Structure 1
Amino acid sequence: MSLVVMKFGGTSVGSVERIKNVAKRIAKRKEEGHDVVVTCSAMGGETDRLINLLTEISPKYDPREYDMLVSTGEQASIALVTQALKEMGYDAISFTGPQIGMVTDGAHSKARIKEISAERLKEAISKGKICVVAGFQGIFPETGDITTLGRGGSDTTAVAIAAAINADVCEIYTDVDGIYTADPRIVRGARKLDKVSYEEMLELSSLGAKVLQSRSVEFGMKYGVDIMVLSSMEEKPGTLVTKEDIEMEKVIVSGVTADKNQAKITIRGVPDRPGIAAEIFGRLAENHINVDMIIQNVSVELKTDLSFTVAKTDLLRAMDVCEKVAKDIEAQDVISDEKIAKISVVGVGMKSHAGVAADMFKTLQENNINIQMISTSEIKISAVIEEKYSELAVRVLHEKLLPEGEDAS
């Protein structure tokens, strides 16, 4: 007997019929002799519906009330899935995040998990119950407030639970059947990967591949939880996310991604003196705004321009912070650009193979796509370009770096 965590996304539980189908998948795993814990997202479209209601009342809503509202979507899902299992004759019980001891920090709408006591969950498992846990939510113990983990947080919940209860595998059921070398809706020749390393998946997730939330991969890598990405619609092999092995390094590039949820902010006329960058990015950090790529121009007459990217969802708050800090440091002004995208190529094989950057930049040049910013690591190269060229860039880079016939798994 093994212990399995199964996570189902919003599309999977998007209707009563689909919820009944999910219950059948869960029951099958139980009948195979496994102990089963399930994590559910809100029904498809429900979180957006709730957010739209909130923004109609106030575009500048209170983050605490946001969490209080959107956390109800997952609670509805777990109750419905649990009842479906009960109707089939299975002993099932639902839990919210706070009920299983999902403790987070106090950063509303983007909280980070600090610990999971899981004692109540372990007790229910020991009694043979199927446990159905609300994804995406936890509790900040200092205030007792409900917190949410950010969009895609149910993935993180599932992997964190798997780590806390020493599950053998965490299965993520979604509306795709695995991890592909590119978005199949954009690239006709995209291929499914049999397995991918935590490091590659972490880069792919943070760079725009929306199959797994990046923090869920961080948890998997830190605690050694194997993550299997599977289709919720049909039973077929998926993609295993696991630790790197020698075979993975033989493939130079594993994927090409495009992230359109990016905005560029430029603070112009920044005084070129020690401590200024610390002041700017310190203020952004205090407001829980993550900064990605950063570029600073050469100083002219002790003035420079500083550009960086943030998520589009953070742009309004980031601009508010930057305009205040620009005034304090006597910078010229602050401008933003939402019509950008970040294009990335990822692969652990890049650590031992040269020439990928040259091929990438030459391919973009041949297609008249201008590069605004560049960022690199051992296993990825990213470039900011105009948003209107994002799909073209993905197609031409995939064709160049992952040609037909090359094994991508």
Structure 2
Amino acid sequence: MPLLVMKFGGTSVADLARIENAAKKVRKEVERGYDVIVIVSAMSGETNKLVGYVEGTSKLYDAREYDAVVASGENVTAGLMALRLQEMGIPARSWQGWQVPIQTTAQHGSARFVDIPRANIDAKFAEGFKVAVVAGFQGVSPEGRITTLGRGGSDTTAVAFAAAFGAERCDIYTDVDGVYTTDPRVSSKARKLDKIAFEEMLELASLGAKVLQTRSVELAMRYKVRLRVLSSFEDTDETSGTLVCDEEEIMESKVVSGVAFSREEAKITLFTIEDRPGVASAIFGPLADAGVNVDMIVQNISEKDYDDAHPGAVTDMTFSCPINQVDRARKAMEDAKAAGLIGYDELIVDTDVAKVSVVGIGMRSHAGVAAKMFNALAAEGINIKVISTSEIKISVLIDRKYMELAVQALHDAFELEKA
């Protein structure tokens, strides 16, 4: 039988009524002739409650026991979903990660997939079962302990199962009805996309779009798993939602497909660093060791270059990072200075910035995208602090108060409301 993977997030299974609604969507696919693997998250709010129990019991908790507790949320949902399907007359059973078994690394709280053997689930399908309901977000370590996969773990589980079982498609049911050209809450002109390429979705996810997690898109792109994003709360058919696929499946792409943004950005500048080979390594090595995710980087000649106080060549270094990592970044730089790895006169942090990006695979073959972007921002009086580019993306750092204006201006400039 053809196989489909369906994933339901926390809001889609938040209570018994929503679990029943999700089960009806599964039944519809079974009636179309599919065997179905359903991946479920914990009921909305349940994971946070379980984390609270752990932290309330032990501040310096054992990560292995943390995983054992937190993974139980998905187990409850899987059992309830299987029961609901059985009540509908559909042969279904639930699977916890260790029963598959979903083999992962031993990094508790952020484990990675090693293998998903098919034999146990295939055997049940051969017996006549139509649905396997699998608890997402979890697996089992080489030592036999329960592991969890970290943020986006259920999305990643769904894509991994689709790849392992050669599924026709992986449908991600969530609280939005697809991928939009930008956040509809920021621009009323935002348009739902019928299709988007893996690379574009990966960039949008990494730049702030919250529809899909980056890890799941990376896995889908690697294994060519066709993803479809749909709403759990609307009637859907085979044309609903947004298909995330190979760019060869998209007949003709617009130059820019979407505008992404992130409010939670900070800009850090180190002034008057010695300009010598290895100085960048001396800065970004300690930042990496401290777990700081550096994004945009600009190096320029310092205003103090060759002045009386600085007879040798000096430079300034600016980079951006998530705002919640500023303290870690500051400490890493202060420790590196104290250890004599780097020297700088001043470290300035600006936490009142936002990142706005335009993304599109059409940029590869079209000139003038940067000029149009910068002209649109200039027309609104928006100053650019930092710029970074890739083959299919241009990102700028601007004052946060102009973020929504910038998104709207760029959406209009590239006419993204038009199909």
TM-score (structure 2 length as normaliser): 0.87
Indicate whether 1:354 and 2:357 are aligned.
no
Corresponding residue number in structure 1 for 2:401: 388
Q: 1:297 to 1:181 in 2, by over 3 A?
A: same
- Residue of structure 2 equivalent to 1:115: 115
Q: Secondary structure at the match of 1:245?
A: helix
Aligned partner of 1:331 among 330, 337, 343: 343
- Show structure 1 runs of 5+ residues with no match: none
Deviations 1:143-191 (CA, angstroms, capped at 9, x unpaired): 5444433322211110111001111110111111111111111111111
Distance 2:231 2:61 in 1: 36
Task: Specify which of 201, 213, 238 is matched with residue 241 of structure 2.
Answer: 238
Q: Compare 368-377 and 171-180 and name the one that shifted more.
A: 368-377
Deviation at 1:337, TM superposition (A): 3.7
Aligned runs of 1:79-158 on 2, under 5 Å? 79-129=79-129, 130-141=131-142, 143-158=143-158
Determine the C-alpha separation between the residues in 2 that align with 1:279 and 1:114: 34
Aligned residue type for 1:273: R
1:159 maps to a residue whose letter is V
Is the 2:197–2:250 contact (alpha carbons within 8 Å) kept by the matching residues of 1? no
Q: Does 1:35 align with 2:47?
A: no
Instruction: Tell me how far 1:369 sits from its aligned partner.
Output: 2.0
Q: Determine if contact 1:268/1:331 at 8 Å carries over to the other structure.
A: no
RMSD between aligned residues: 2.7
Is the 1:35–1:128 contact (alpha carbons within 8 Å) kept by the matching residues of 2? Answer: no
Are residues 1:307 and 2:308 paired?
Answer: no
Shift of 1:75: 2.3
CA–CA distance in structure 1, aligned partners of residues 324 and 68 of structure 2: 19
CA contact (8 A) 1:267 1:326 kept: no
Q: Distance in 2 between matches of 1:263 and 1:100?
A: 43
| C-alpha distance after superposition, 1:357-400 (max 9, x if no partner) | 11111211222222221111111111112223222211111011
SS of aligned partner of 1:359:
helix
- Aligned residue identity for 1:331: G
1:369 aligns with 2:382: yes
**1:340 lines up with 2:353 in the alignment:** yes
Shift, 1:349, TM fit? 1.1
Structure 2 distance, partners of 1:105, 1:320, is 30
Q: Which structure's CA Rg is the greater one?
A: 2
Query: How much does 1:12 deviate?
Result: 0.4
Which amino acid counterpart does residue 174 of structure 1 have in structure 2?
A: T
Mapped partners of 2:53, 2:337: distance in 1? 34
Q: Is the 8 A contact 1:262 1:310 kept in 2?
A: yes
Q: Are residues 308 and 77 of structure 1, via their aligned partners in 2, closer, same or farther at CA, if it must alter by over 3 Å?
A: farther
Q: CA deviation at 1:229?
A: 1.1
SS at match of 2:78: helix
Query: Would the alpha carbon gap of residues 66 and 370 (structure 1) be closer, same or farther in structure 2, given more than 3 Å must change?
Result: farther
Q: What 5-or-longer segments of structure 2 have no aligned partner?
A: 306-311
2:296 aligned residue: 293
Deviation at 1:96, TM superposition (A): 2.7
Q: Give 2:245's aligned amino acid.
A: T
SS of 2:71's partner is helix
Structure 1 equivalent of residue 256 of structure 2 = 253
Deviation at 1:262, TM superposition (A): 3.0
1:399 maps to 412
Give the structure-1-normalised TM-score: 0.89
Residue 330 of structure 1 deviates from its aligned partner by: 4.1
Q: Greater CA deviation, 78-87 or 193-202?
A: 78-87
Tell me if structure 2 keeps the 8 A contact 1:326–1:334. no
Cα distance in 2 for partners of 1:91, 1:246 equals 35
Summarize deviations over 1:115-136 as a string: whole Å, max 9, x none. 3234333333333331111222
Select 1:264's aligned residue among 249, 264, 267.
267
Q: Secondary structure of the residue that 1:6 maps to in structure 2?
A: strand
Shift of 1:64: 5.4
Displacement after TM superposition at 1:286 (Å): 4.1
1:242-265 Cα offsets, whole Å, 9 max, x none, are 111385544111111112243334
Separation in structure 1 between the aligned mates of residue 331 and residue 382 of structure 2, nearest angstrom: 31
> Which residue of the partner structure matches residue 159 of structure 1?
159
Distance 1:193 1:261, change over 3 A: same
Q: Give 1:89 deviation, angstroms.
A: 3.1
